[in-house]
Each structure stands twice: as structure tokens, then as C-alpha cells.
Chain A
């Protein structure tokens, strides 16, 4: 009788990274609770150890690929890829956080615990094979991020950011949950492959009801990836949140949300693909347009990056609209490249913002080329990659996305997407122009040379961005192999 209740060793191996992260998250809190006033805070190091361990453990899990815990999770190439990506994004954010938190006098264990827990949620999400797990993972990830967005409680922008994110985010999650309830009512299951079987069977449930359910779930997920028309929160939240948290939010939770969006729509809802394709088409285009054109008018660099992240979500949606294996590989590659270049850009902002994030306007970067050649050069790499200049990861990302779109005969979407990238070049280049062609203003004190964790994060991201631009096959081979969700 009890054998049903005892998980197998394989279950534990497949879930090991999340277990490790949970243990470390709890450990950090315990250390914080028992810490004497004058003792050091080793949380950053501990978090990095935990994340490195989780990345390490993701590989034996992948070698034992398969479903775990009665089909609740499925560890496959796709899941493993995003799992590792989320861990890396979190590690980069942790690297930026140490200096930031001591600058704002807000160093505490909870911050790192919350980051680790948030990553646990993302790990659960990207390997979930059950809508229930999707929901729980999404909630863990989101709640931790809501709190992180408002971590500096005395900062008004932090409060605004956390409150907006929390209210709108909860509302969006409710949509997702409502959609899950509908799906359960229609198909009698929350298991993705069973849903697919039910929808693709000879006697499928009413397609309009299924479509409504899928639409409700799409609303919830579209919010998390900030796709039009659910992108409104993004600029305010990214601008208000602490810079390292914005870096993390724009990479980890977003990648996880994209992963689960792809998984749900390419497996469970694959039988009704003809219905959702046009919606995705319009969303992708609108997201690109809104993101890029709104970014043109921004003066605050965090806000600019927020709008740019909306635009990039649009590009990724183009690849999902393609609905092909190569499309999925393109999504994976793009998100990897995007993680490095975007977190890198935010890491630079973290460093340059100064105490209380006073200097976050584009003009404050004037003369950075002379004052801080290294930082300026690294930031330039990220911005060029965000534009999609050859020899950077961003170029190949865009290339594969539009190739996938063309392969699926989405000619108009491709053309409009390319036009959008051209528009995008303007606002990124504007930052470069300010950095290198304008003289430093006397009001902005020269930033200190970059050092420590932020330097590691910056250099690491830049190297990764360039490697992806020169040898895209490093990731592309794996992505191409893992682009099949239905073995």
C-alpha cells in the first residue's frame, strides 16, 4: 500500500537541483536568524554555491531524462536548458546584488533566500508537465519577485513597483488559474500530454470552450512575458525595482514564462494550433511595435531597457508563432543570448546608478567613454547585441527567429519584424552616442571603477554574448536537439 507514496531514486535525481536550492534558501534564513550583529554575511557566496551546485546537478538529471513524481515533472532537453538558463540568470543577478545592497544598506539574508526560492519556482515551471505544477511554480517565482521588487521598503519607487507588480500579477495569475480550471473541466485532466490526447481525440471537447480556456491561460502567461496588451506594468516595475532585481526579473522569470508558454501551447494546445496562431501573430507584431516605438521616447535607461525587453518578447513570440522545431530552437537560443545581454546591460546600470539610483537617465552616461572606458565598452557590447549587430549573440538570435518565421511562411511578420529591429537600432545607438560623443556633465560625479561581483557579471555576460555571436553552435546544437517537445 505504501509503495505508491514513496518516490523513486530517479525522481529525486531529476528534482535534485530544486531540492538543493530550497535547502540553501532555508539555510540562509537560518544563518540570518542566528547571526550576531557584527558577523559577516556570507549569503552571496552561499547563493552562488547553491546555484553552481544546481547547475552541476542539472546534468545528471538530464542524463536520467524522463518524467518524475508520477508524471508531475518531465526532465527533458528543453526543460534542462531553461533550468540552467534561469540558474545562470540568478547567479548573474546575485553577483550584482552584493555591492548594490551594501550601497543601499539593505544587505540581508531574505534577499538571497527569495532569489533562490524564485529560481526554485522557475525550475519547477520549466520542467512542469502538469498545469498544477505550472501554477505552483509560477506562484513561487512570482511571489518571490513581487517582494524583491519592493525590497527597499523605504524607497517610494520600490513601493510603487512592488505594488503594481503584485496587484496586476495576481490578477494575471487568476486568469491562468481560471483557464486551468476550464481545461480540467473540459478534458478531465491537468496533465499536458493527457490534455493533448483529449483535444486531439476523435471526439474532442467543444473547440470554442477549449479556445476560451486557452485564451484565459494565454492572458496569464502573456502578462508574465509582458506581451501586448499586458505589457503596461513592465516599464514602471523595471524602473522602480532595485536594478539587480530588474536584471533578474527581465531574465529568469521571463525565460521560465516563455518556456512554459511554449510547452503548453506546443504540447497541450497543439491540436488547436490553427485557432491560436492568428492571435499569436497579432500579439507578436503588436508587442514588437509597442515596445520599440515607446522606447524611442525614453530618457530613463531602466525604462528604456524595460521597453526594449517588451520588444524582445515580441521577437520571441514571432518564433513561437512559427510553430516548428526550428522555431523552438530559435526561442531557446534567443532567450539565452537575451539573458546575457540584458542582464549585462542591467549590471552596468546597477554599477552606474549610484546610491539611491540617482543617475539612471541616459544623459547621466555622457562622457562615460572617457571616464570609464571598460564599463562603457562592456555596455556597448550589450547594446550592440541588443540591436543585433553581427558577431554578437543578438544577431544570431534574430537571424534564427526570422529564419524560422520564413520557413513557416510568415513573410509579412518577418518583414515587419525586421523593420522593427531597424527602429530599435535608433534608441540603442542613442545611448552609445551619449556615452562616447558627449562631454561629461559636471553635475554627475565620475563613477568609481567597476569591481567585484559586478565586474565578474559584466565580463562574464560580455564574453558569453560574444561567444554566442561567434560560435552560436555551442548552444544551437543542444537547442536543435531539444526542440522536440513530443518525443
Chain B
């Protein structure tokens, strides 16, 4: 009962946060709602007994990425951009596309509701930090390591894009 309540509370926070994040006018408010949405997701992780993901989600997304987002939003004056109406000419096409996609997804979800119930997640015997570590450094060692190349590329790219001309 309490679980159900929390599930819907977190789900509502996630979905409503996401919706508001794309509809609010002020960029800072968008970011705040995105944070709310991310916190909702973190809550959902917690309900699945995935404490590590819960904490990592908050540390990385809320504490790292969103703080940087806010930093950039506040640093760059977005007032002028906010006043300008976006997608002036083609919004009916975009709207039609989005509605079509939404209808398609809703249709397939409606079909999908008749799926058999999903299997329950395996009960975590050891702490789930240990389990994550075993999987991450065992089975998924290569993706874990290759992801570091991805980050390296992203850093190099960011520096190439951002460095000053006289620094060349």
C-alpha cells in the first residue's frame, strides 16, 4: 500500500517534472523541473532496492550535471532567447509528427499491456553495491573500459571546440 503510494508519487514527479521541464518559459525553471524529474527517477530506483543507482543518480545528475547546467544557464544571458518564439513556421508539422508518434506508441503500449506479468527481479543477497561491482568488472568490463575512451573523446572534443584562438 505504502509502496504503491510512493511509486505513484515518484512516477508523478518524474513525468510531471519532465513535462514541465520542456514547457516552462524560464530556462532556470526548466532546469529545476528537470532536477525534480531526475529526483523522481532516483526515488523509483530506491523503490527497486537499487540504492547504489539511487545515490549515483543524485550525485552525478543532480549534483554534477544539473549544477553545471544551472551554471551555464546563469552565465549565459538567456533572456533574449527566451523571448523569441521558437519554431515559428514549422510547428504544425512538428506537432503532427509528435502526435503521430505518440499515437503509434500508445497503440503499441495498449497491445503490450496484455503481456504476461514481468518476472520478479532476483532478490539481492549481498549488498547490491557488491553485485553491481561484480557485474561491472566481470561481465561488463569491456563496455566499462571502452566508455572511458568515449569520455576522453568528449573531453578532447570539448577542448578543441572551446580553446581560444591564440592558444593554438
Q: Which one, B112, B154, B157, contacts A208 given CB within 8 A?
A: B112
- The A104-151 residues at the B interface (CB cut-off 8 A) are 106, 108, 110, 113-114, 117-118, 120-121, 124, 130, 132-133, 136-137, 139-140, 143-144, 146-147, 150-151
> Which residue of B is nearest A22, CB measured?
B149
Return 24 A-B CB contacts under 8 Å, by A number.
A15-B142, A22-B149, A29-B156, A69-B141, A70-B138, A70-B141, A110-B160, A114-B156, A114-B160, A121-B149, A133-B146, A144-B153, A144-B157, A147-B156, A147-B157, A153-B165, A205-B115, A206-B111, A206-B114, A208-B107, A208-B111, A209-B109, A209-B112, A212-B105
Give chain B nearest CB distance to A235 CB in angstroms: 18
Chain A residues positioned under 8 Å from B46 (CB to CB) = none
Contact A209 B168 (CB under 8 A): no
Contact B165 A143 (CB under 8 A): no
Contact A72 B112 (CB under 8 A): no
Contact B149 A120 (CB under 8 A): yes
Give chain A nearest CB distance to B155 CB in angstroms: 10
Chain B residues positioned under 8 Å from A117 (CB to CB) = 149, 152-153, 156
Give chain A nearest CB distance to B144 CB in angstroms: 10
Chain A binding site: helix, strand, loop or mixed by DSSP? Answer: helix
- Cβ of A4 under 8 Å from chain B: yes
Give chain A nearest CB distance to B104 CB in angstroms: 7
**Contact residues of A with B, CB < 8 Å?**
4-5, 7, 15, 22, 26, 29, 68-70, 72-73, 106, 108, 110, 113-114, 117-118, 120-121, 124, 130, 132-133, 136-137, 139-140, 143-144, 146-147, 150-151, 153-154, 162, 188, 205-206, 208-209, 211-212
**Contact residues of B with A, CB < 8 Å?**
104-105, 107-109, 111-112, 114-115, 119, 134, 137-143, 146-147, 149-150, 152-154, 156-157, 159-161, 165, 168
Chain B residues positioned under 8 Å from A154 (CB to CB) = 165
Contact A4 B146 (CB under 8 A): no
Chain A residues positioned under 8 Å from B115 (CB to CB) = 205-206, 209
Give chain A nearest CB distance to B142 CB in angstroms: 4
Give chain A nearest CB distance to B95 CB in angstroms: 17
Give chain B nearest CB distance to A424 CB in angstroms: 29
Contact A70 B161 (CB under 8 A): no
Contact B168 A108 (CB under 8 A): yes
Chain B binding site: helix, strand, loop or mixed by DSSP? Answer: helix
Give chain B nearest CB distance to A26 CB in angstroms: 8
- Bound form: Cα–Cα A483–B156 in Å: 37
> Which residue of B is nearest A110, CB measured?
B160
- Bound form: Cα–Cα A141–B97 in Å: 29
Chain B residues positioned under 8 Å from A208 (CB to CB) = 107-108, 111-112
- Bound form: Cα–Cα A209–B107 in Å: 10
Give chain B nearest CB distance to A278 CB in angstroms: 16
